[in-house]
Amino acid sequence: MIVCIAEKPSVAKDIARIIGANASHEGYMEGNGYQVTWTFGHLCTLKEPHDYTPMWKTWALSRLPMIPPRFGIKLIPNNPTYEKQFKVIENLMQHADSIINCGDAGQEGELIQRWVMQKANAHCPVQRLWISSMTDEAIREGFKNLKDQSDYQSLYEAGLSRAIGDWLLGMNATRLYTLRYGQNRQILSIGRVQTPTLALIVNRYWEITNFKPEPYWVLSTVYREVTFTAVKGKYKSDEEGQKDLQQIMGKPFTVTDIATKKGTEAPPRLYDLTSLQVECNKKYGFSADQTLQTIQSLYEKKYTTYPRVDTTYLSDDIYPKCDGILKGLQDYASLTQPLLGKPLPKSKKVFDSSKVTDHHAIIPTGVHPQGLSFAEEKVYDEVCRHFISVFYPDCVFSTTTVMGKVEEVAFKTSGKQILIPGWREVIKPVKAEEKDGEEKEEEQVLPAFTKGEQGPHEPRLAEKWTSPPKPYTEATLLRAMETAGRLVEDESLREALKENGIGRPSTRAAIIETLFKRQYIRKERKSLMPTQTGIELVGLIHEDLLKSAELTGIWEKKLREIEQHKYEAKQFLEELKQMVTEIVNTVMADTSNRRVTSQPVAATAAVKKKRVSKPKDKTAEKKTTPSPDAIVGTVCPVCGKGHVIKGKTAYGCSEWRNGCTFRKPF
């Protein structure tokens, strides 16, 4: 008997229908020589500290670091549904002739199923079903081309290394900081990806808080209802601007030069998960997690391909299938009609097998969708339009730059005109597109100018102020996580930086949700802001290894190299063990911030509280309200040298005499 194990009941039912296992039983289906069963995502997890030794049940600094000699797994406890289903799986696998792993074709899917098979003590041969979509055709093709499980050993090792690394850092650093700074009242959660992500948000908060706006002046003039701006740019003083303003008042405006240049704009890249989450957050306000759940649903309904991907390319073997996919997009017939009946263009920006590892970019399958929710309609539309657009020609436009002059003061304006829409027939530009939280003005359309023409104009000198950086939105935070904290607009450069991104496309949404759940961050409209707890937690952490997005990105790169057989999992784990030991020793030996320990991190009402040692008397059991001055004594977030002190009207830095600008009003 061949046992197939899928990751969800719905997926198992589709597989069972196609391979002829139509008889239903408790927890599995059977027929045609197959038994098809399922998990519910994770059924197993790494053992907790107390599972290794009773000594680790009690939280104590003297018992850190906790490094098990060998890591083990266990069934997720206190879940009768999981326990019941696992017994079914275990019984089937004990009597199986062979097993087919039908889990999601990715690192997490590989880890989930391998742990279940290990826990069930399965010893028969195992094959792997590896598919990128859930269409009937893809499943049949996958069963004809089953792989040996050993082909995916490095993928499993990378997933296991990631899980162990998160355990080592999370368990040890959380206990360390909770015991050192939480004052037995609050768990201070530290995570390998979570904490650097929080640090990005907190650092941006301090950049905004400590930003000192500076005035500048802009000289412009309106000629023939078109605004021209002085070529000099920003004036540093009102006097400097007024001098030029007085010089041009009442004098005629002269057009000195007109230059028109044609340009082309290629279609946008296909979607990977992060770019899809970014676009849906900008256009529809969907959270990263909402977009992930929606595209996962579309995948399971067979309408789109595997979503948890970090590439924007298609492999060359997909090209012959594209014509059929386009024909299946019935709701987009007006857009696909010009493409059908002739060879589709094959661009290296779209089809490049060298840029595809496990899965290609997200595209539609060509299966006609029915009964979609509002969110599914929007996400599906994004995927379809991007797929269609890559086969359209480039957009051709002309940029006209007009130079003018009044006396000795030069002015300039420019406008853009679409000559051939090309792919813009498929993807319409958003009128007020968000760019890092601010609206982008539309390009102005220029009238016909003639070189040498003159006329009256309306000059003005406007006072403006420099602006602080914008708070992160989920869209810009996802981009920052993808490029290790560096916001990059250029698509090709962003592709190159992905290798050092923090987190994985499939986990970044969950990281953001975790920060919300632990009340380290909150949302103000679209902006992500740190809570006081989040601010103070990051302020306590001195070790760059724990909060540096760039360093975390390096760890992520090593995990990818484990997948690619370029790096040893054993070496990665040894480095992590050494790092955890060094962090514990550093914090324990640090006597320079003794004052910090005198005040606990301020707790928010909904933050989970847990006692880490039994109180000795009843007075210790009384709940105390954290002091509003808990920030006092923490290391200055601006200079890193002084400590936060309380003044008459605001908090400041003890190094204020030496030029530190940190100031926070009460």
The set of catalytic residues is 306
| Coil, helix or strand at residue 247 | helix
Phi, psi angle pair for 592, to nearest 5°: -75, -20
Cβ-Cβ contacts under 8 Å for 480 (sequence gap 6 or more): 200, 472, 486, 487, 549
Cβ-Cβ contacts under 8 Å for 276 (sequence gap 6 or more): 291, 295, 307, 362, 379, 382, 383
**What is the spatial distance between Cα 173 and Cα 190, in angstroms, rounded to a whole number?**
6
Cis status of the peptide bond prior to 469, with omega within 30 of 0: no
Six token digits for residue 195: 């904490």
Q: Helix-strand-coil percent breakdown of the chain, rounded to 5?
A: 40, 20, 40
Cα angle for residues 362, 365, 367 (degrees, 5° grid): 145
Q: Write out the DSSP string of 29-96.
A: EEETTEEEEE--S--EEEPPHHHH-GGGTS--GGG-S---SS--EEEPSS-HHHHHHHHHHHHHHHT-
Query: Edge-to-edge strand order for the sheet containing 2-6?
Result: 23-25, 28-31, 34-38, 2-6, 98-102, 126-128, 147-148
Q: How many residues does the chain have?
A: 666
**What is the spatial distance between Cα 661 and Cα 620, in angstroms, rounded to a whole number?**
39
Six token digits for residue 279: 């676009």
Cα angle for residues 534, 535, 540 (degrees, 5° grid): 95
E strand segments, 269-420:
395-406, 409-420
Which residue has tokens 């409209």? 525
Give Dmax over CA atoms of the chain in angstroms: 96
Query: Using the 8-state DSSP alphabet, how is residue 217 labeled?
Result: E
